[in-house]
């Protein structure tokens, strides 16, 4: 069941929001202030957090910033739900890390729709369960003046990142034309600082074949 944490210092508001979301099948957990929310968020790992802004001790903006600093919560959607409806307040909320900003009083149908949209954008529905938790990074280098130095920079970057992360790193040229020179005639599969270069026998060979052969060699080396 999808779990939503609602943070508001008003008991009345907590009841209204809970009554609005529970019929949609969500499990709603409430916190009466920002400190209480920060204390319980790591243990419960909510799928969505709804924050009021005007709260004692820690306002919603500060709570949002602290939530974004937590690795377990950093990518969870956060909505600001508050009576502060000025443009300045909306900007403050988004700059603090909120994904959406909604004003009170609210219509139940709109709140449900916004919650559904936030959850839909952050749920990896098209990934297999074992792959959903994987994280990858893509770093791109562009050659704007003939490629001078770009090949060396990209190769050194791949090796350095493999050593830093301790994970395999793929260095690939995304040129769509047939393989020619420089990075366009090889694919590097770097593993913990050691590179394995696969070069095509023919200059017209496609990238797909190069990558396939490099992958096969790497699998043979692992097995």
Q: Does the N-terminal peptide bond of residue 105 adopt cis geometry, omega within 30 degrees of 0?
A: yes
C-beta separation of 20 from 108 below 8 A: yes
Beta carbons within 10 angstroms of residue 128's beta carbon: 8
Using alpha carbons, select from 67, 90, 65, 70 the residue that is nearest to residue 80.
Answer: 90
Domains of the chain: which residue ranges?
3-125, 139-222
Rg of the Cα atoms in the chain: 24
- Block means of pLDDT (10 residues each) for the chain, 223 residues, are 94 96 95 93 92 92 94 91 89 92 93 94 55 64 63 71 72 57 46 46 49 64 61
- CATH architecture for segment(s) 3-125: 3-Layer(aba) Sandwich (3.40)
Taking the model in full, what pTM does it have? 0.56
């Amino acid at each position: 069941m999808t779990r939503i944490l609602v943070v508001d210092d008003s008991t009345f508001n907590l009841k209204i929001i809970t009554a609005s979301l529970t019929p949609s099948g969500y499990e709603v957990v409430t916190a009466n202030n920002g400190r209480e929310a920060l204390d319980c968020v790591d243990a419960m790992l909510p799928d969505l957090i709804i924050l009021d802004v005007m709260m004692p001790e820690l306002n919603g903006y500060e709570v949002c910033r602290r939530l974004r600093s937590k690795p377990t919560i950093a990518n969870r959607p956060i909505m600001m739900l508050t009576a502060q409806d000025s443009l300045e307040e909306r900007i403050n909320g988004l700059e603090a890390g909120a994904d959406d900003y909604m004003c009170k009083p609210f219509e139940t149908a709109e709140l449900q729709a916004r919650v559904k949209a936030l959850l839909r954008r952050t749920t990896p529905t098209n990934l297999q369960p074992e792959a959903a938790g994987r994280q990858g990074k893509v770093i791109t280098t562009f050659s704007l003046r003939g490629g001078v130095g770009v090949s060396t920079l990209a190769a050194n970057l791949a090796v350095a990142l493999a050593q830093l992360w301790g994970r395999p790193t793929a260095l690939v040229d995304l040129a769509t034309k047939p393989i020619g020179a420089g990075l366009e005639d090889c694919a590097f599969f770097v593993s913990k600082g050691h590179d394995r270069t696969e070069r095509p026998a023919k200059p017209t060979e496609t990238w797909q074949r190069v990558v396939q052969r490099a992958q096969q060699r790497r699998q043979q080396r692992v097995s």
